[in-house]
Chain A
Amino acid sequence: GQNIDQPTEMTATEGAIVQINCTYQTSGFNGLFWYQQHAGEAPTFLSYNVLDGLEEKGRFSSFLSRSKGYSYLLLKELQMKDSASYLCAVERNSGNTPLVFGKGTRLSVIA
């Protein structure tokens, strides 16, 4: 089976840094995605990690540890527009389901 865990909700202050964690247990792990989803809109791609380590892309960075089944998304210099759900999704290289989403973390950025 597969299991993906993320915190349900987080709140952070504008200008601050926030880290959203994701842990997973799955067979046939290939890589891990992070998506951002604003209310009422489709998910948009943020990052993809296959190898261990940190990938930086502007204000957003994503980290993966395959041995620990752990990833995090780091958001720096938070802006109000970053208030959204952040979905961790595991890509599998075996089995029927190519992409399995976590339940998402609702981030609220406050002034």
Chain B
Amino acid sequence: DTEVTQTPKHLVMGMTNKKSLKCEQHMGHRAMYWYKQKAKKPPELMFVYSYEKLSINESVPSRFSPECPNSSLLNLHLHALQPEDSALYLCASSQHRDSTEAFFGQGTRLTVV
């Protein structure tokens, strides 16, 4: 299994909603990442988890709250988002934080209305 699975694939939410994005991998990777990608822009790193601990937070607003319940799962909890937060949210994993190849999920396309 060389896949990173993200759910849902699409999400529309209001500015007062609370929702969660989920990411799962069963490759035994110990580093997991959240990226945000706006249209026609490269992915921007949001968070890095290494061995289930948050190791990097790229100054992301607190309305985005990551969680790593175990080594296979990574969640991104969303609350009180703004329309400008609409983007593709990509999850990736790698064997460990200093390893080379990162595997990306297909992303969750989020629209905030």
8 Å CB contacts to A: which residues of B80-102? 90, 97-98, 100-102
Task: Please count the residue pairs between chain A and chain B whose beta carbons lie under 8 angstroms apart in the complex.
Answer: 45
Q: Is the CB of A41 within 8 A of B101?
A: no
How long is the Cα–Cα vector from A91 to B102 in the complex, in angstroms? 11
The residue on B at minimum CB distance from A88 is: B42
Q: Is the CB of A98 within 8 A of B97?
A: yes
The residue on A at minimum CB distance from B31 is: A98
* Chain A interface size, under 10 / 10 to 19 / 20 to 34 / 35 or more: 20 to 34
Interface residues contributed by chain B, number (CB under 8 Å): 20
- Which of A45, A100, A102, A103 is the one whose CB lies under 8 Å from B102? A45
The residue on B at minimum CB distance from A50 is: B100
8 Å CB contacts to B: which residues of A17-34? 31, 33
Q: Is the CB of B42 within 8 A of A41?
A: no
8 Å CB contacts to B: which residues of A60-98? 87, 91, 93, 96-98
How long is the Cα–Cα vector from A98 to B92 in the complex, in angstroms? 12
CB-CB under 8 A from B14, the residues of chain A are none
CB-CB under 8 A from A97, the residues of chain B are 45, 56, 58
CB-CB under 8 A from B48, the residues of chain A are 98
How long is the Cα–Cα vector from A48 to B41 in the complex, in angstroms? 21
Given A31-B100, A101-B43: A42 touches B58 (CB 8 Å cut-off) = no
Q: Is the CB of B97 within 8 A of A42?
A: no
Name A's B-contacting residues (CB within 8 A): 31, 33, 41-45, 48, 87, 91, 93, 96-104, 106
